[in-house]
Chain A
Amino acid sequence: MASTTQLPTTPAALPQVVTTRRRPPKLGRSRPNFLGGLGGWLWLAIIIVPVYYVVITSLKNQAGFFTSNPMLPPSEPTLDNYKLVLENDFAKYFTNSLIVTVGSVVPALFVAFMAAYAIVRGKGRFLSWTNNVFLLGLAIPLHATIIPIYWMITKAHMYDTLLALILPSIAFAIPVSVLILSNFMRDVPNELFESMRLDGCSDWAMMWRLALPMTKPAVITVGIYNALHVWNGFLFPLILTQSPDTRVLPLSLWTFQGEFSVNIPAVLASVVLATLPLLVIYVVARRQLLSGLTAGFSK
C-alpha cells in the first residue's frame, strides 16, 4: 500500500486512504487470533523448509551429502560446489540472462507505457479495441503459440540467438504491463493534464514530464514483475536456443542437473546462485514490488 501514498491523490481520495490505513489496528485490538497465527507460522514452515534444505545441502561436500542427516547443516561447510558451478560457465549464462532480461523489460516498459497513456488519455474505437486485444491476451494460454513462434524465429534466421528470446518476451510482457500501468495512470488527476495542456504542452511532453513521474512506482513494479518472469523463463530458451553460447540461467540449471546428476549439492548450489540476483533485488525493492503488485492486480 505504500505506493498509494506516493501517488498523487485528489483531496476526495485522501480520506479513503486514511481510513484504509487506520482500519487494521482496530482489528488488531481484538483478542489475538491464535488459529490464524498458527496457520501463518505453519505456512512459513512449508515455505522455509525447502529453502533451508537447498541452502544447507549446497554447502555440503558430496561425501557429507551421502552420510550426514539431510536436514542438518554440514559440520564442515564448503563453498566447493559454488566454485564448481562458477567454473562451469556460470558467468556466461548469467550474462545471457541479464542481456535477455534487460533487453526485454526495457522495450516492453517503453511501448507498454506509451500504450497505457494512449488508452487512458485518448479516445476512439481504435484505442478501446487495442485495450480489448491486450485484455484478451491475459486470458489466453500463450504457451500454445510456441510452435508458430518457433517457425517464425527459424524463418527469420534467429534460431539460437538471444534476440530470439527477447522479441517474444517483449510481446508476452505487454498485456499485464499495460493493464497495471493504465490502472495507475487513471489515478493521475485530470486537472494536472489540463493545466499542462493550457501551458501548451504536447501529449508527448505530458507523457514523459507528467504521467511518467506520477506513475513511477507502477513503472518500477511492472519492471520488476516482468524481469522476474523473463529471468526465470524456461520455455522460450528451451525451444528457441540450443548451444551453450546462448544458454540462460534456468536452462543451465536443467543442464547442470543432467551433467552433475549425482552431485546434488552442486546442482543445488547452481539453484542458489541463479536465484541470488533476484533475492538482492527483492531485498532492495521489496516494498515497491509487493505494494505495487497488490495494487496492480486487485484494483
Chain B
Amino acid sequence: MSATTTTPQQELGVGRTTGTRRTLEKGPSGWLAVPALAFFMLFAILPLLGVLFLSFTRWDGLGEIKLDGLSSWNTVLADPVTGNALLVTAKIMFFSFIVQAPISLLLGVFTAASQKYRAALAVLYFVPLLLSSAAVAIAFKALLDPNFGLGPGLGLPFLAQDWLGNSDLVLFVVVFVIAWQFVPFHTLIYQGGVRQIPASLYEAAQIDGAGRVQQFFNITLPQLKYTMITSSTLMVVGSLAYFDLIFVLTAGGPGYSTRLLPLHMYLTGFKANDMGAASALGVILVVIGLALALFLQRLGGKNRNASQLEGA
C-alpha cells in the first residue's frame, strides 16, 4: 500500500486508536474484538503460561502431572544436548539470515521494476511457498541423493555427495533448503517496500547524474530500512520455527548436527516422554524469540511509529 490515506497524525495514533475522529462520535463496541481475543488467549497466551507452569512439573504426556520444582530445569540446563541445540539454532539462524537477507533484498529490487519478464519471473519465484515443508523436505531428500539425484543427473561428481549424511555439510544443506523455501516470501516483502519509494527521489538522483549503483546505495537501501527490519524480524523469529522442514529432512541428524531447539523440544517431549524438560526448552524458545524481536525492533530507533511496528 504505497498510497496510505492516513495523515501523519493518524499514523502516530495507529496502534492506540485513531485520534483524529470527532470525539463525539461513538466508536464500535470493543465486544467485536472479543471473539478473536478469546481464541487467541485460549490457544496461544494461556498455553504460553502453561508452558512455564509445566516446566516446573514432571509429566510423561499420559499420566498425572506432578509438581517437581526445578528438576526439569536442572535436567535441561545440565544436558549437553541443550547447549548443542542452542548452538545449532544460532548457526542456522545466522547462516540462513546471511544467505536469505541479501538474496531477498536483491530479488525484491529486481522484481519491483517494470520489465515484463521480471514480473513473469516473480510469479515463478513464488512457487516454493505453495509447497508444504514436508513436501520440500521430501523433494530435496530425493534430489540430494548421491545415487539417483542431481549429482549423477548432471554428471557432476562434486554434487553427488552424501549431503544429508555428512555432519560437516548437512547444516549448510539445511540452510540452503530453508532459503529455497523462504526467500520467495521475503522477496515479496522487499518488492512491496521498493515500490513504496517515491519516484521523485530517483528522478532527482538521475538529474544529479547518479548511476544505478549509487541510486541503490543512496536511495533504495536507506529507504528500505523499515522493510529490512520487518523482513529480518520475520526471518529471525521464523528461524525458531524451522521445525517441520528439518524434522522430515534430517530428523535432527546425523547425530545431533541439525537438532535445533524446536526439534529438540519436540523429541524430548513426544519421543522421550519428558514433557517437563520439553516445556523448559519451550520457555527458552519463547524468551529467545521475544528478546530477538524486541532487539530488532529497537534497531529501528525511537522515531518509528506504531504503524511500522505493526509490520513486524
Contacts and interface: CB of A to CB of B under 8 A. Distances in A.
A274 interface: yes
Contacts of A12: 5
A39 interface: yes
11 contacts: A40-B118, A119-B17, A133-B37, A139-B312, A145-B51, A152-B43, A171-B42, A235-B243, A290-B123, A298-B190, A299-B4
A100 B304 CA distance: 39
A120 interface: yes
A48 B135 contact: no
Contacts of A294: 188-189, 191-192, 195
Contacts of A124: 17, 27, 30
Contacts of A254: 134, 138, 248
A139 B262 contact: no
Interface string A8-36: 01101110110110111111101001001
B5 A13 contact: yes
A80 interface: no
Contacts of A244: none
Nearest to A27: B113
A264 B138 CA distance: 9
B133 interface: yes
A71 B17 CA distance: 57
Nearest to A43: B107
A219 interface: no
B106 to A, nearest CB: 6
Interface of B: 1-6, 10, 14-18, 20-21, 25, 27-33, 35-37, 39-48, 50-51, 53-54, 61, 65, 103, 106-107, 109-115, 118, 121-135, 138-140, 142-143, 145, 148-150, 152-154, 180, 183-185, 188-193, 195-196, 198-200, 202-203, 206, 212, 227, 230, 233-234, 237, 240-241, 243-244, 247-248, 262, 265-266, 269-270, 275, 278-279, 282-283, 285-286, 288-290, 293-294, 307, 309-312
A19 B106 CA distance: 23
Of the candidates B20, B118, B195, the one having the most CB atoms from chain A within 10 angstroms of its own CB is: B195
A268 B134 contact: no
Given A110-B35, A145-B50, 11 more contacts: A22-B199, A39-B106, A40-B118, A121-B28, A122-B29, A128-B17, A135-B310, A147-B54, A187-B4, A234-B132, A293-B185
Contacts of B132: 231-234, 249-250, 253, 274-275
Contacts of B2: 1, 4, 16-17, 20
**A interface secondary structure, majority:** helix
Contacts of B307: 183, 299
Interface of A: 1, 3-4, 7, 9-10, 12-14, 16-17, 19-20, 22-28, 30, 33, 36, 39-41, 43-44, 46-51, 53-54, 57, 65-66, 69-72, 110-112, 114-115, 117-124, 126-128, 130-135, 137-152, 167-168, 170-172, 174-175, 178-179, 182-184, 186-187, 189-190, 194, 197, 203, 207, 228, 231-235, 238-239, 249-251, 253-254, 257, 264, 267-268, 271, 274-275, 278-279, 282, 286, 290, 293-295, 297-299
Contacts of A239: 266, 270
Contacts of B31: 118
A119 B103 contact: no
A187 B28 contact: no
B50 to A, nearest CB: 3
A111 B39 contact: yes
A143 B237 contact: no
Of the candidates B188, B192, B312, the one having the most CB atoms from chain A within 10 angstroms of its own CB is: B192
A119 to B, nearest CB: 6
B30 A122 contact: yes
Given A47-B124, A147-B51, A171 B113 contact: no
A148 B18 contact: no
B110 A39 contact: yes
B195 A1 contact: yes
Contacts of A141: 237, 240-241, 262, 285-286, 288-289
